[in-house]
Amino acid sequence: MDVADGHAAALTKIVDDASMPDGCVTVNLGTGKSTSVLELVAAFAKASGKEIPTKIVARRPGDAAEVYAKTEKAKEVFGWEAKLDIERCCVDQWKWASANPYGYGTEADAA
């Protein structure tokens, strides 16, 4: 829901603010904090109620040790900042995916 709220804030700004005549600005939507793969797997397992098999392996060449969104511009331009933690984001995603097993399409589209 945070990402949806961020997009809504961007659209409101574009529509309501004459200082954005071309409607283009790039911002990062996120918490500004990194989440490890293991933290994400644990959060999604909890949200889905399913065990997620994992395999711990060596880091691949070029893998980033840490990645996070620099979010100050979203707050400055749109007045938006994340409110939810990764656990809640996983709950929201699982709820949507469970209700829409074929994404935005239908079973026939998946065939």
Residue 107 lies in a domain: no
Q: Average pLDDT of the chain?
A: 88
Q: Is residue 35 over pLDDT 80?
A: yes
Instruction: Grade residue 31 by pLDDT with cuts at 50, 70 and 90.
Output: confident
Query: What are the structure tokens assigned to 39, written together?
Result: 């933290």
Give the domain range for residue 90.
Answer: 2-99
CATH of the domain at 31: 3.90.25.10
Between 95 and 2, the more confident residue is 95
Q: What is the pLDDT of residue 51?
A: 96
Q: What average pLDDT does range 72-95 have in this prediction?
A: 92
C-alpha–C-alpha distance, residues 40 and 33, integer Å? 13
Whether the Cβ atoms of residue 93 and residue 47 lie closer than 8 Å to each other: yes
Is residue 13 within 8 A of residue 76, CB to CB? The reply is: no
Q: Number of folded domains in the chain?
A: 1
Instruction: Compute the average pLDDT of residues 84-110.
Output: 89
DSSP 65: S
